[in-house]
Structure 1
């Protein structure tokens, strides 16, 4: 009976901890791409890998996120004029009407609609793919010379109609998906804010309190079975 309870406890531990371990940027690998830094972004279950090159003031990025339920796009942006959506210059992966995946650039000049256009800074090596349920955007962008940080905004979308991305969900997490990206790493983002309460599209992540609860639960089950 003791062996059975131990086996059950270990199985439950694996069940609860495996998603938390897998859903971190450090576990993600790319073919022929290596980045100096990565961040588990605090909202929407998204991840950013990046390398800053001071010699040519460029930033190479890989942005990963799962679309919202029934959604068909994900995006990551730099806002050179503010901290929110308006003015953001976005790199987007979206599913087109023919089912293919495309990478495009958008100027976010309205809360209700965005315009496909060239961005206010240079972009190259832009591409997108999909793996393990996540859309991935790859690109290199020009950043201001001697910059130490940029304002980033990210989101996961709703539908795409006639190849035009529609508005994303308006849950608290979608509205709070922004922050300062420190180009040389050192923690990645500026002062973090706690994820907003309420419904959201956040990926499931285990914090210390969750881990303590599940460990206690597993121990309790083991004691009962003994």
Structure 2
């Protein structure tokens, strides 16, 4: 078979890279948080909306500390991260939502009781403390919080979202694109024991799960390996 010309090879490479999942390009481990005093044991590249979550789970007191990082859909938009204690989607989610009001950045608590009802509240279904928001790089908002989780829980249903507009300090509806509708995943707090590790990993430092930075690197390695085989078969 004739070898591929160099310009054609470059074009093919660009096409292949464009097909790779955006999650593979994220790297939460190298992300710099604006509050350098805040450190976290784990981080995960969330699969949609170019968002990341840094977190530490403390099994001793059943608390979870997080830093959620995402950019709003526009400069005047909003971002939100939530835990849903009753389901896997938006309805029932207990949200921490960051937005601008009169030029200042705020974080508020919302109870998402239905698709039509987004109610600001002083108290969520779980205790929240150390709540604040800061501006990060590239127009991103960083929501920090600590929250109480149920004793003995191993995983949580998390939901995240971004919107384009906020009116009078209240978020308007977000887009209904696939990446918005797919912004939900399990957050594994404790890794289950395996045959190789009968006692499991420490609860405060779980190994990366699907969707974590470690998982993204594995996907990237597999993709690049497949790409190398394809290039080899074309060139040689």
Match of 2:62 in 1: 57
Aligned in 2, Cα 1:149/1:189: closer, same or farther, shift over 3 Å? farther
- How far off its partner does 1:158 sit? 2.2
Deviations 1:129-181 (A, max 9, x none): 11211111000000000100111001111200011101111001111111110
- How far off its partner does 1:112 sit? 2.8
Q: Does residue 101 of the first structure (1) align with residue 122 of the second (2)?
A: no
Runs of 4+ in 1 over 2 A off after TM superposition: 19-23, 184-191, 206-213
Q: Does residue 29 of the first structure (1) align with residue 32 of the second (2)?
A: yes
Aligned in 2, Cα 1:89/1:28: closer, same or farther, shift over 3 Å? same
Q: SS where residue 152 of structure 2 aligns?
A: coil
Aligned in 2, Cα 1:208/1:190: closer, same or farther, shift over 3 Å? closer
Match of 2:136 in 1: 131
Q: TM-score, normalised by structure 2?
A: 0.71
Tell me how large the CA RMSD over aligned residues is: 3.0
91, 104, 109: which one aligns with 1:86: 91
Match of 2:200 in 1: none
Contact 1:73 1:156 (8 Å CA) reproduced: yes
Q: Aligned pair count?
A: 189
Match of 1:164 in 2: 170
Q: Does residue 113 of the first structure (1) align with residue 117 of the second (2)?
A: yes
CA distance in 2, matches of 1:38, 1:53: 15
Q: SS where residue 114 of structure 1 aligns?
A: strand
Deviations 1:8-59 (A, max 9, x none): x9xxx9xx8xx99984101113310110100000011000000001111000
161, 170, 180: which one aligns with 2:186: 180
Match of 1:153 in 2: 159
Q: SS where residue 88 of structure 2 aligns?
A: coil
* More divergent stretch after superposition (166-175 vs 67-76): 67-76
Unaligned runs of 5+ in 1: 1-8, 192-205, 221-226
- How far off its partner does 1:208 sit? 6.2
Q: TM-score, normalised by structure 1?
A: 0.74
Unaligned runs of 5+ in 2: 1-9, 191-205, 213-219
